[in-house]
Chain A
């Protein structure tokens, strides 16, 4: 841990502390874990390197997460759609999932993660895919079509306030605000 502190420049460390919700120790730990994902030759320039998605998904914190692909897609700033992440994308992700991030930020990013077709609202297909992620793909735990229909019907009845058949960001945040456990469960800590 002492070694990586000398690799990350002090000004960058200060800047990252300003821009994210992470503490100094968390940023240093993130740097260490990020460099371990890179091949040895690229570790010197970890700040500017990009890690391919397959490598990111080897992290134990993301490996078993049902939303791993959506997380990589949402936080990656890669222009060519390969969902690779730079160190700053990585810090961004950890910042949103950290202890100190506010409910607003978390609900905003949760909405983006659950918006599978990225059209800005959660429509029926988004909700179906979401429920599939939550219940898993196994034979026993998968919901039948009828059960899925009923569940989505119930969800839309309860949360779709303007009755347009989709859940927009403010309706989603309204649901989130009624669940105080959300902040502590929407957390990934290295």
Chain B
């Protein structure tokens, strides 16, 4: 017992030391701007040719990259390296297909949760030990806490700065005084912007607000209603399709084993739905003919986010309720593999989308159908794709600690490919895009449905689901969180660590109590657990009370 306490204290001091030196390292690194030179140069070229609106997409992408690299670095330092030290040999064979399916050889590597040991790692006799269970849960937990506060802080800062736009929409004409984008330095782009401004002014001057007759207004309302029903209906149909496909997936997996190309059907279908349904929504938006173009953009974005979040939501429901309850040996690795495949196929579709959406569209627009012209870069759709990919990555961190590193590489490639495609194929945006307002909205979308949803899923997994018996760092425990509560119990016997126990009982458990309260309906698994929880001690009684509520 004393060994594990020693190990935990060493872990904490090691962690704080590492965090401090990491921060110092980061500061010195940012002074050597040679390393950041590539980003600076690329962003400047994009801004100079396309203006601040398109630039905001690339800045958002760069911001997401920092989340991923941070996660990868702390996972690598605190979970993966110790696991390498205590690794068992991998005697599975490797075929090329596994890079796509993530199964087979990769199952016994640090890529997935199942490979991690639940032991306390000793390398030196009577030396410091390393408790893998605590390391795993604390690293993942700390990352999410830091992300939460970073997102909250960025969102609040952005919202405060851009609060002005929420005031009553007063006067378009005087906005002309502050619309010129000084970033643009490409001559052709400048001329294009001047032409667009001129058109905008002429339209503004000419267009008076028409008073619609009652009949016309009724027709408009009916069209809006029908469009909303159509879009929500498509989203529901997409979710149903994904759900049935995933149930089928499970059957294929149990019948035919893992390393099949058939496992790729679910991710491909999910990505196809994500790629093509937004075009349907844009078409609906064109049919509806909104009075203010800004409103049209918002409605399309809301419909797309509903679609994407529902697809992620149905997948999470499937993972938590079906895969976790299945009889498989190591359900966390199965979930990790599903997420790996989804992320990889989404990345491939993103590249394909650039190719077909922009390159071929340009060829068509310049040779066959000249009236179409060059394509414009669709900022909203691309940012929502990024939010979707980041949501998947965040969910996958618990099940596949290497995933943020993979996503970092994929986002970097996407940055480069999108930039090249933009420069080669696209023209600067013609319509007005309220950059500040949209950036704040995207940050909000990243926080509210995306990150908060991820926290709920991770919360349910850590507190309510039973880890697999035979694999992973939490094998044999009643829940992943039990590792922490057991550690607190061992700490209670040491007077030196009474403060940790005090913080735990008075701050963290009460916060957890409210968090679990807010998570909503008790599930059937929860009812099972309340019967078991009656025998355990105080923190779990709190759990059982909320479950009965």
- Measuring CB to CB, which residues of chain A are less than 8 angstroms from any residue of chain B? 1, 24-25, 60-67, 97, 110, 114, 130-131, 133-136, 138, 140-143, 147, 150-151, 154-155, 157-159, 172, 175-189
Contacts and interface: CB of A to CB of B under 8 A. Distances in A.
Interface stretch (B190-198, B241-249, B508-516): B190-198
B165 interface: yes
B255 interface: no
Given A138-B191, A159-B171, A180-B162, A131 B176 contact: yes
A61 B162 CA distance: 27
B185 A63 contact: yes
Nearest to B199: A141
Nearest to B40: A189
Contacts of B175: 175, 178-179
Interface string B154-198: 000000011111010011011111111111111101110011011
B434 interface: yes
A143 B198 CA distance: 7
Given A150-B205, A151-B173, A151-B201, A182 B194 contact: no
Q: For chain B, give the interface size range.
A: 35 or more
Contacts of B488: none
A128 to B, nearest CB: 12
Chain B residues touching A, majority SS: helix
B198 A185 contact: no
A182 B181 CA distance: 8
Contact of B190 (A64, A154, A175, A184): A64
B176 A177 contact: no
B205 A159 contact: no
Given A97-B182, A131-B201, A143-B198, 9 more contacts: A134-B176, A134-B194, A136-B194, A138-B191, A138-B194, A141-B194, A178-B165, A183-B161, A189-B183
Contacts of A179: 164, 175, 178-179
Nearest to A130: B177
Contact of B198 (A24, A142, A175): A142
Contacts of A150: 205
Contacts of B34: 1
Contact of B186 (A64, A110, A142): A64
B52 interface: yes
B195 A65 contact: no
A126 to B, nearest CB: 11
B190 A65 contact: yes
B374 interface: no
Contact of A138 (B33, B185, B195): B195
Contacts of A189: 44, 47, 183
Given A138-B195, A143-B198, A147-B201, A185 B170 contact: no
B174 A159 contact: yes
B198 A180 contact: no
B183 A158 contact: no
Q: Which 8 A-B pairs have the closest CB atoms?
A: A136-B194, A154-B173, A158-B171, A141-B198, A180-B436, A180-B162, A135-B198, A182-B178
B215 interface: no
Contacts of B436: 180-181, 183-184
A39 B187 CA distance: 26
B141 to A, nearest CB: 34
B185 A61 contact: yes
Nearest to B187: A64
A172 B197 CA distance: 20
A88 B126 CA distance: 65
A63 B342 CA distance: 46
23 contacts: A62-B185, A110-B178, A131-B176, A134-B176, A134-B179, A134-B180, A134-B197, A135-B194, A136-B190, A136-B195, A138-B191, A141-B195, A141-B197, A143-B198, A151-B201, A158-B174, A178-B171, A179-B164, A179-B175, A181-B179, A183-B161, A184-B435, A187-B183
Contacts of A177: 164
A155 B205 CA distance: 11
Interface string B126-161: 000000000000000000000000000000000001
Nearest to B162: A180
A175 B178 contact: yes
Given A134-B180, A150-B205, A187-B183, A181 B434 contact: yes
B183 A155 contact: no
Contact of A158 (B51, B173, B178): B173
A110 B44 CA distance: 22
B180 A67 contact: yes
B435 A181 contact: yes
Nearest to B169: A178
B202 interface: yes
B109 interface: no
A151 B190 contact: no
A132 to B, nearest CB: 10
B478 interface: no
Contact of A175 (B165, B177, B185, B199): B177
A33 to B, nearest CB: 13
B181 A143 contact: no
A134 B175 CA distance: 12
A168 to B, nearest CB: 13
A180 B161 contact: yes
